[in-house]
Chain A
């Protein structure tokens, strides 16, 4: 219970006329984005998707086999030693063995291109199901040689989706199914050290882990007891809209908050420690871009003057977002990931939103065709990089949303954890998650384990700290959609503790 009288930062007072205590300076941000998910400008779509599965299997197999070997080597079940078989096809009936392969989920509700083609449907219908999951789902394991159906209650102990790589132990029964006794996941990938790619800001490097880097630079020293107060703000689903003003006031408040104009001097001092804003997808509302079908057909031949038909395209959402960014950028660097609803490519990995969308913020973006990062960094989705020395992996949420359809669970953090343990952040690509047909590399394989893994556009906030066998620690953050929750996430850049700020308008 709070009283008006005892609020420390109350500006409910007569103007004192005292000049302000000096201007606030924002904490600096150490930032090194990676280009893991950038596609070449010239993309070929001629190749088959099968290569992705092959690449994934060859890349992850050694890791999971290592885990399996250490767990099962010499294991004797019912007087029978477990034997390793190389290929799915080599499994003999009644023989206890273990094998590694790619999981494939047979789900009656899952859209299937083969079915479409066989029924002469050539246009992929919009996906209507919330979930593909049903009771009739069957888990199968496959590799280049063949496929075998997996049965056993143990499978239910962990979520499995198409595309993840596991090792299973069991024996084939008379039905030709593998009775699974145990299975292993590759588990977390090796984790790089902090500051692996970028240099810690001067002054803190002699402190090793840099608990309290004092005075990042000359200007810092007077304003800041920076300490562990540095924060990274993450938000998603801003959904700027031209017609739906239901949360526009919250957006205004968010801007004021990040600019450090709202609240009192001591809180503003705290706000100045937010060194970067990461926008994890869905910044622009989609609804304006939908053109009613008949209408679209009715007026086809309209003069296209500036590349789009002004009568059916509403540029206002992006203009609003541009204004937001342009106001924010002078005081704070921004990393912008596209999301499912943003004007970027549709398939994973989504390529950066072109800065030309934002004429006013654009001067802050990196000049095209240069490798340095911009103050406004429009990046891919998924995106990885190093922020304040921590390896960060972030997505706009499609990977988790797609996994969500496969499983009978609402546990988004559990799915995020699973992707880390599978070492594959988007296993369902290219099956149900649209993806670029990679040929030489599957970038969705997590070669390195991030310190921070955030997923945007989730229905609600959540965070969890998971750890791996080799002492890896990953901070998982499910970033809620701002439209739905009006929440933003603040991540402490030293302790990786997470807090959130809720904006409310009554």
Chain B
């Protein structure tokens, strides 16, 4: 495929028989010979290895952690200064109208902050930070791959490489030596399962991936199952479940904004769109992202319009992600509905092939999270 970038694991994907597709400017594996359904189930039951090297890895450095944290808090409405050393936290970049320009993970790695952003947004995010942050350096880490090892067997597998991996708790970060490679590891992921994300030098990535895959519990998993896993886990996909037209409160991500950044907090506001975002945190939003369970067997995908009634009326929202949930055993979806239809148990109707089919507003996640807290 011309003009598409390759990750350091491209040759391995090909050797493993992956079906490659274009994604965010990269040629990425959508599935391996196991197939999406079995890859999904394998990750929930054992462990799956994902190549997420297309994502952006960025270091924000300054005189010390506090300098970098204070700078980033001008762009991100979360408590970064209060993040303990070797801990990670979810965050958002917002714009002046209160919309979300990307979501990200932030880690306090002692003297700097390590950030992981979405592939499709990394160039924009880096430019945004470089243009708006002063007194800090913003450096893309282009010489590292990023792997995710996800599923209940992950701890046992990674523990054979470095026993310290097993001692980490959910959202801890650590530098571990894995098969001789210096890796920046976090205990986190995008599947709702226990697991790790592993930043590894690009020239050692294939070696480490092969060593992980040598464990009988570990199978390679493509983007297809990554999507159904994160959907069952109720996790947002940027550009689909949130974007510049959705605010944190609308996206049901208010939990990510700690008290200290809210009205009355010691470092309230001071980020783009604070006026809109802080007001909505107090008053609520007119629409909200919710989980939706189609009552029938037909999957309802992104773009399906939602109605309050089976017969008439104007749309009250739309589905932003949807498909079949292999672990749930039925279709699952998420989308936006007006606040008066966002209560759990509410029935709404999706229009599919000319028919209005019922869905039930359902708390997220669809499956209980399996984190090592």
Q: Determine if chain A interacts with chain B.
A: no
